[in-house]
Structure 1
């Protein structure tokens, strides 16, 4: 069986991968579908296309642009019109979400260009005891003998997500239904709906869903470390072939990068920040950033962090996943207080893909932080000034420093923010520090030694021997001349 070939444009953030895809699409006539993570990035690409190829037939489509109605429906209309008109060179731009949620079989022969790694994998678990009948009526299960996981196929038409939200309530269950509407997109850990009450599930979008396209390219510096890529390799290695093509960057300027961090004694998480103790730590971070970040800065974090910081910091709050944007490349200060560590919901997916917590954290947390901080002035290869970054913890700072050194940034400094007051704060779940472990071990050894001395003293007294004097007292008497 011939494998489907997917070209992956790799290289540092800011190396021009998006530009390469755009310029090649301009130079090589054909019908192209471009997919980007946000409508802002679509608008940036659309403006660049207009400047570089003003006569090109261009269709930017997202929720805020391109007409009325659902974006997926407008996507089909644009495709049909271009085909009916006999177009030979045209570009449709839309979002990752629209691409992954649409039936693209009618795009056979087109060229797919995906900007940045899509959020291709989701996972969760829920109890189906109260909805078993509804699941049976709506989905068929397809499993293979000896396999723990079965794929789903929707019976009938896609449901209304707004109605589902009202009837189901739970956000993760609505997302399950939404993903399961796509054939072979969702997998559940059960051979049939009657086998268990508690269901683990995961959904994965893979490039195989673009198999009818004439060519497929994905541009993303972190795509080959993303959970979506690792999952696709694990499940479909016999069907997919990834061909990496590096886009280098040549720097003419060397900035001085300072990575500030707030703690080296615990790890951040949304669960922790949702507690009273965790909110106190974010307050300390917020108090410091409110006096440190200038107005010409940008910042973000998890939703729980944004809720605590919004309207208290200067600068612009932007989406944490602001991949690919160029609009902030004159700014010299940014802060990203973010956690993307593995959760219980990821367990089933991790088992299937043979991933550990470190894979998830690096693919989810590290990559987002890297993408975010590269939105600023250091995205410009000619920039040689000072650039300040604020992250929550030292582990993140260390990994980010290593990433910058791999990109051949020569001047990178780690700066602990001791004045914020959470440098040595410990979480109960973190357990003792190495120093505390050593002290506990020393205390344990001392108590064991004390017990041995007490036992030897008791034995000496019982045998009529002077405490602290070795030997058998009877033998000592026998040797007296």
Structure 2
């Protein structure tokens, strides 16, 4: 399988170039965008380019709010695309990352898939199911995950295989398990979509834990990894993502490649753009990282209130800001109309803004750290993708994307590590005069980091871990196939 990765810098025209090529060269394309809100913008751009270039192209957005009456879900609509457009020589279907990750793509032979930005290939959910031991034991099996004490691979009993997600949708007490059940069902039919959890016996979920707040249900975690095997039917695979090889998803995809022969081709496309030189100022408030747990504490909330007051005094009307939903109550001075969701990759909506602030934290919980370990990646990889990259993508939705603007830009983040990450990426742009500034608002946390400092794995270590995972997956899949043959007999 050949995979082309366009790692051009943010704002350099990766998405525009991809849309332009899809219009110019007739074929069947599946274009995958990160956010549902981007579907209509991409659709409009494709149709406008088609008119400009006199191309007869079918542009087909797949949106849960506008499904054909014959379809019950986005997944059904995605899986029906190859048959629906089998006689169309030139079509562009537009879906979200979520739709790609949940769908069976085995019928897309001859199609070309283009994935804009890095998809989150590891689905994770932490749950409490204190009274559900009997339900899980009746519908699911647990098989020890070799090499990882306390972790299991989830399978299906006969009753579990007969249960559908639609059944769960009609059950108020188990509706929250629809995603879990769908993943386990998929894993039964596709070796590349197994589900793992940190339980070895379903009875563990019913063992209440004694805490200072009394007895509480234990929180357990499950995870399901989307792998490159799911894209094997496509004629070509293209990913548009700056520094993709540094992402958590890339490392997970490499580690889980199994026997697939993957050939990565790198490029950095860009439009011929003359950029105005401009100053970019990155401001941070804390020399140390802080977790969500600290920022939700009484002290943490007081720190956030100070930052809110400072930002409200500094930022003008042409600005955007964001924070975790759990922190929003501490931000009462900033204008609510300027608040945007943290995940803004692919948007040009705020290109007129010269100021942006994002106070955001997404550290891994102990459960998540354990799950990452079973996939051969570290907490540092998690933070880079789920925190630092979210911060960077939000801040670069501003006038930094406008080559004609020479206005100074000011960007605000919480801590030094985030500031360094943003500064390194933006500082690499030849037209940016960068400065980094610490504003002391007295928000330093006295928290000591838990455990050893996570380290980023070297390429050799990544490959070694990937080989170990491939060897294990090969043996595991062989055992599964042998067991299936034995059951059929």
Which bin holds the TM-score, normalised by the shorter protein? 0.7 to 0.9
CA deviation after TM superposition for structure 1 residue 378, in Å: 0.8
**Alignment correspondent of 2:172:** 166
Contact 2:280 2:409 in 1 (8 A): yes
**Alignment correspondent of 1:19:** 16
Q: Deviations over 1:236-270 (max 9, x none)?
A: 15425152322244652222001111222x32322
Q: 1:276 aligns with which of 274, 298, 307?
A: 298
CA deviation after TM superposition for structure 1 residue 334, in Å: 0.6
Contact 1:332 1:386 in 2 (8 A): yes
Q: Which runs of 5+ in 2 are unaligned?
A: 206-217, 451-489
Q: Does 1:179 find its partner at 2:200?
A: no
Q: Distance in 2 between matches of 1:258 and 1:139?
A: 53
Contact 1:226 1:364 in 2 (8 A): no
Q: Distance in 2 between matches of 1:240 and 1:309?
A: 50
Q: Which runs of 5+ in 1 are unaligned?
A: 432-481
Q: What root-mean-square deviation, in Å, do the aligned CA atoms of Structure 1 and Structure 2 show?
A: 3.0
Contact 1:8 1:242 in 2 (8 A): no
Question: How many aligned residue pairs are there?
Answer: 420
Structure 2 CA distance for partners of 1:428 and 1:57, relative to 1, 3 Å: closer
- After TM superposition, the structure 1 stretch with the greater mean CA deviation from structure 2, 142-151 or 48-57, is 142-151
Q: 1:74 aligns with which of 56, 73, 77?
A: 77
Q: Deviations over 1:7-51 (max 9, x none)?
A: 222121112221222222222222111111112222221111111
Q: Deviations over 1:136-190 (max 9, x none)?
A: 4333556787676525456135324874883148x6x665345334324243257
- After TM superposition, the structure 1 stretch with the greater mean CA deviation from structure 2, 298-307 or 235-244, is 235-244
Q: Distance in 2 between matches of 1:150 and 1:426?
A: 39
Q: Deviations over 1:93-138 (max 9, x none)?
A: 1111112122222323222111111121134556777434323433
The 5 A counterparts of 1:285-324 are 285-309=307-331, 312-313=334-335, 316-324=338-346
The 5 A counterparts of 1:338-357 are 338-357=360-379
Contact 1:112 1:213 in 2 (8 A): yes
SS at match of 2:173: helix
CA deviation after TM superposition for structure 1 residue 192, in Å: 6.5
**Alignment correspondent of 1:422:** 442
Structure 2 CA distance for partners of 1:307 and 1:104, relative to 1, 3 Å: farther
Q: Distance in 2 between matches of 1:38 and 1:352?
A: 29
Contact 2:275 2:431 in 1 (8 A): no
**Alignment correspondent of 2:257:** 236
Structure 2 CA distance for partners of 1:157 and 1:22, relative to 1, 3 Å: farther
SS at match of 2:368: helix
TM-score by length of 2: 0.77
Structure 2 CA distance for partners of 1:178 and 1:276, relative to 1, 3 Å: farther
Q: Does 1:203 find its partner at 2:236?
A: no
Q: 2:285 aligns with which of 259, 262, 274?
A: 262
SS at match of 2:403: coil
Q: Distance in 2 between matches of 1:313 and 1:237?
A: 50
